[in-house]
Amino acid sequence: MPGFVLLVRDRKDGDPAIRLGITVTKKIGGAVVRNRMKRRFRALARDILPQSGIAGADHVLIGRDDGVERDYALLGKELAKALARLSAPPGEKELERDRRHAARKGASGGRKGRSASAHRSR
């Protein structure tokens, strides 16, 4: 499991700037640990986002427990891989997953949360 979660959202405002947000909760550790993790994330972003980031989008790194002691080079590879997945066109696996999801959604029959017994007449 990677040492972070990456969220990316297109702002759709026409500004090509790449923005970064970083959050590390108290659950990860004390102030010293959280600040160390945020410094590492800022350094990663400085190295990787200009080449691999998505223009006009907000990028948010959420620190996870595994990220505190993870090797810096490994964190860099994980961030580059995550950004590459986001910028690549959807593959066949993702398209198939979307088709299955759409089919399941359509198979609900329009019964919003009611069981079959709720539809019986009394």
Cβ neighbour number for residue 65 with a 10 Å cutoff: 13
| CATH, residue 88 | 3.30.230.10
| CA distances (Å), origin 67, targets 40, 43, 44, 48 | 9, 14, 12, 17
CB of 55 within 8 A of CB of 18?
yes
**Taking each helix axis from N to C terminus, what angle separates 31-52 and 72-87, rounded to the nearest 10 degrees?**
50
pLDDT above 90: residue 64: yes
| Residue 71 domain flag | yes
Query: From CA 38, how far away is CA 21, in angstroms rounded?
Result: 10
Whole domain around residue 13: which residue ranges? 4-104
Q: Is the CB of residue 100 less than 8 Å from the CB of residue 69?
A: no
In a domain, 111, yes or no: no
What is the tally of structural domains in the chain?
1
Q: Is the pLDDT confidence value at 92 over 70?
A: no
Q: Is residue 117 a part of any domain in this protein? A: no
The single-letter code of the amino acid at 48 is I
Q: Is residue 16 part of a domain?
A: yes
In a domain, 51, yes or no: yes
Per-residue pLDDT of 4-58, as tens digits, reads 999 999 999 999 999 999 999 999 999 999 999 999 999 999 999 999 999 999 9
The answer to the question of residue 56 being in a domain is yes
Split at pLDDT 50, 70, 90, the class of 109 is: low
Q: Is 110 domain-assigned?
A: no
What's residue 36's pLDDT? 95
Predicted TM-score (pTM) of this structure: 0.71
| Identity of the amino acid at 3 | G
What single-letter DSSP state applies at residue 70?
S
On whether residue 109 sits in a domain, the answer given is no
**Strands of the 19-23 sheet, one edge to the other:** 4-10, 57-63, 19-23
